[in-house]
Structure 1
Amino acid sequence: MKTATLAAMLLGYACLGGAAQAAQCGGDFGTWNAAFQSEAAAKGISQRALASLNGLTSDQQVLSLDRRQGHFSKTFEEFGAPRIAARMSKAQSMMQKHSALLARIEQQFGVPGAVVIAIWALETDFGVVQGKQNALRSLATLAHDCRRTERFQNELLDALRIVDRGDLSVAEMRGAWAGELGQTQFLPSSYLKFAVDFDGNGKRDLIRSVPDVLASTANYLRGYGWQRGGRIAEGTPNYAVLKEWNKSGVYQKTIAVFASRLMAEQ
C-alpha cells in the first residue's frame, strides 16, 4: 500500500464540483484550505486537529510524484526479483525473531506470518523507510488537486480523525508522499478501519509497534476476504486479496512469490 501504492495507483476522478460536501478543488490553496476546515469542523473534527492545517502550502513535489509511477511499468524480473533477493535473508531472520508473535497473529487473523513479513519487507524495509513527509500536507495537496479530490479529502478527514482518536500526534503524522502511514504504509482510511492494538498499550501505533503493525496488516487482508489455510498462487482467492493491497499486478506477484519462498524455508 505504500509509495506507488494503493493510493497512488487509484484511478483519477475529474473534479465536477466533487461530492456535495467536498470543498471545491483547484484555485487558491488557502481559500480551499479554509473551506475544507469549515466542512471538517462540521463533521466533528476538533479545532486542535484542524489547527495542524493552518499555514500549509501545496507540495509541488507530491504532485510531480503523483503523475509519474514508472516503476510499476516494470516486469517482475525488473521490479520484484531484485527486491526479494535483497530482503530474503533479513526476512528469514524476522520470521525467527517474531515467530511467537506471528503464530498469535495467524491464529487470530488466519494470515500466515510469511505473508505479513513479505509485505513489511517490501513496504518499508521492515520499518526502516517509512517516509518523512508531512502526511497532512501531502493529503491536503492531493485533496486540493482536481484529479482525485473527493478521495483525498476523505483521506485527509480520516488522518485528522487519527489525531483526534489519539493514536498519533500531529508531529507523528509523517510518511510517504501520498499520505501513507506506518511500517506497512496504511492510508488513513485503512488505518481507522483495520489498525489494531495488538500490544495492549491502548493505542493503534503503526509507526513504532511491531505487534500492531503486523497484526493490522493481517487484519487488513482478512477484512478483504483472506481465507485461512488457502494458497496464494496466482488465480486463487487469496491472490485476489492482494489486489486490495496494491492494484499493481507486479506488486501482487512480488508479495506472493516472496511469501511462498519464505514458507518454503520454514
Structure 2
Amino acid sequence: MRASRILVAGVLCLGLSLGANDAIAASCGNTAQGFPAWLADFQRQAVASGVSSRTVKAALGGLRYNSKVIRRDRNQKSFKLSFKQFLARRAPPSTIAIGRKRMRQHAVVLDRVERKYGVPKEIIVSIWGLESGFGRFMGDIPIFSSLATLAYDCRRSKFFTNELMSALRIAARGMMRIRDMKGAWAGEIGQTQFLASSYERYAVDFDGDGRPNLIRSKPDVFASTANFLRRHGWRKGADWSPGTGNYGVLRDWNRAEVYRKTIAYMATQLKK
C-alpha cells in the first residue's frame, strides 16, 4: 500500500492492540517539543509489553521528530482525483504494458502463487505496479522514524502506535533487520507496501530462505500479497469487477474507491 492510501482511505488492518498503547496514545502531541518525553515513555511501555530492551534501543534510540513526515501527512491530494484522473496518472497504457512484460517475466512464480492462494496473477501484478511501480519506488525513510513521529502525532496516534509496536515485534523476531526497515513516509514496507501490522500477520516466506522478504524477494512479495487477499475472503475463480465480492475484498487492501477501481481495471486489461 502506498503512503497516501493509509491516511486518506483507511487501513489494511488495525494491528494487534495492547493496553499499553492506549496510555501512549493519550500523551500525544502536535509539536516537536513533547516528542522526547513521549518517546522515552513509549520505550518503557514497549519493554513492558515484552520487546527486548536491546531491540527497543536499537530501533528507537536517538530518534528525532520528523517534521517532513508530518508535512506529507497533511498534504495528501491523490485521492481527491476523479477515477479518470487517477487512472491517467497511476495506470496509463505505458504502465499496463510494463505490467504485461513483468507478468511474462515472472510467469512461473506467479502461476505457483495463483495455484496456492487462488488470487489471479493479474490482480497481484496490478497491485505491485500501483504500489511501487513494480518494485522501483519503495521509499527509503527508516520506518521507525516515520512511525514514531506519526504515533506521537495526535491525528492518528493510536493507529500508528499499534504499527510501531508491530514494527518492533518484526525486528525482535528476526523477520527483518532494523537497518533494512525502510519504506514510504507512513511506514509501508516493500514492493507492495505492507504496513508493519500486515507484514507481521500476512508476510510469507515463499522462496524458502527462512524469512519473508518483501523488499528483495519477488516470490515472497507475490505470495504475501495473495495471502493477504485470500485471508480477507478472496474467492478463487470469481469476478473482481465493481459490485462483486472480490471487489469488496479489495477494500481491505485500499478503501479509496478510485484505487480499488484502478486495481480492477488494470487487472482486467492485463487479462486481455
Root-mean-square deviation (Å): 1.6
Residue number among 250, 255, 265 corresponding to 2:263 in the alignment: 255
Which residue is equivalent to 1:43?
A: 49
Q: Deviations 1:4-45 (Å, cap 9, x if unpaired)?
A: 12355339xxxxx97246562126111000100000001111
Which residue is equivalent to 2:63?
A: 56
Matched, 1:28 2:34: yes
Q: Deviations 1:53-90 (Å, cap 9, x if unpaired)?
A: 11111111111111122111101211113422231121
Q: Which amino acid letter does the alignment assign opposite residue 104 of structure 2?
A: Q
Cα deviation, residue 108, structure 1: 0.9
Which residue is equivalent to 1:4?
A: 4
CA distance in 2, matches of 1:22, 1:82: 36
CA distance in 1, matches of 2:167, 2:8: 17
1:148 is paired with a residue of what secondary structure? helix
TM-score, scaled relative to structure 1 = 0.93
TM-score, scaled relative to structure 2 = 0.91
Which residue is equivalent to 1:187?
A: 195
Contact 1:7–1:187 (CA under 8 A) maintained in structure 2: no
Alignment gaps of 5+ in structure 2: 12-19
How many residues are treated as equivalent by the alignment?
259
Cα deviation, residue 116, structure 1: 0.4
Which residue is equivalent to 2:142?
A: 134
Which residue is equivalent to 1:165?
A: 173
1:147 is paired with a residue of what secondary structure? helix
Q: Deviations 1:202-250 (Å, cap 9, x if unpaired)?
A: 0110010000001000011111111111101100000011111111110
Alignment gaps of 5+ in structure 1: 12-16
Q: Deviations 1:141-172 (Å, cap 9, x if unpaired)?
A: 00000111111111001001111121211111
CA distance in 2, matches of 1:213, 1:50: 27
Residue number among 236, 242, 252 corresponding to 2:244 in the alignment: 236
Q: Which amino acid letter does the alignment assign opposite residue 176 of structure 1?
A: A
2:206 is paired with a residue of what secondary structure? coil
